[in-house]
Amino acid sequence: APSSLMGIPFQLQSQQQAKALLAENKIMIKKETSPSEPFGGQPAKNASTPKPNMATAAKVNAMVGNKTWFGGLFTGSGKKRQVHAEKNFEMTPLQEQRMQKLKDRLNIPFDETRPDHLTSLKALWKNSFPDTELTSLVSEQWKDMGWQGPNPATDFRGCGFVSLENLLFFARRYPASFQKLLLKTQGMRATWEYPFATAGVNVSHMLIQLLELNSARPKTLPGINFVRMLSEHEDVFDILYCIAFEMMDAQWLAMRASYMQFNDVLEATKAQL
């Protein structure tokens, strides 16, 4: 049976290792500075209004889960080690096959004329709000999920169909964690919260950059370690997406951020990953 990391089950370790990680699960805070850029937001339900002075307050990193596990997945101990890793790294046939399959996913734009894409979009709504009927594929109801307008297709343009697949994977595989983030039920929330769905698209884009998925081959340790994991777990990209989304929300709460600090939070999450 899978264990859980901040409510997200995962099987990236043996059962014994997973139990050990679960026992050590914490949120660890450390100071960090990062640039600030505006980002659109939405008001949170039942939100209290935090009053941090973001201009002078120390910004923080919230490490979700076990530090050793994340350190083993995404780590760099200096330029020398990285160069050494590049020179000796070659993909196996299985890694090449699975990496190509993943890259093919990244090249698929969201297409409103494709029945399978529309089916996935309807499934996302059903998994998000199972007790509420979607009146139309173009509807103001989508704003309740955090899309910028009544047609989510416009928000998928920045990252393609894979960003919808990531959200749907999260909703189906880890529904409790998905609902927690969608409905903002944990922690002291800002009056103007980050929009859940468009934030999810940003998390997809962040991971694609971090893992160098648009490059011919990875040249940094995060990308190389990802390829190594890909040979053992074909859906590791989607699982990492869920973990990254959880980490982003933990950063948001730790920084007591509001929508003007969303890009701050995203950059801090990327640095932590």
| DSSP helix, strand, coil percent of the chain (3-state; round to 5) | 55, 5, 40
Could you identify the residue written with the tokens 């103001």? Answer: 140
Residue 90: predicted pLDDT: 86
Q: Where are the domains of the chain?
A: 91-272
Contacts of 112 (CB under 8 A, 6+ apart): 118, 153
| pLDDT, position 233 | 87
Strand pairing of 42-43 and 192-193? Answer: antiparallel
pTM: 0.73
Going by the DSSP 8-state scheme, the letter that residue 141 receives in this structure is: G
Q: List the chain pLDDT tens, one digit each, 273 residues.
A: 333 333 333 333 333 433 343 344 333 333 333 322 333 445 444 444 444 444 333 345 544 444 444 444 444 333 444 444 555 678 899 999 999 999 999 999 999 999 999 999 999 999 999 999 999 999 999 999 999 999 999 999 889 999 999 999 999 999 999 999 999 888 888 778 889 999 999 999 999 999 999 988 888 888 999 998 988 889 999 999 999 999 999 998 888 888 788 999 999 999 888
Per-residue pLDDT at 236: 93
The whole-number pLDDT of residue 143 equals: 94
pLDDT score, position 260: 85
Distance CA 64, CA 45 (A): 24
pLDDT given at position 246: 93
- The pLDDT value given to residue 205: 95
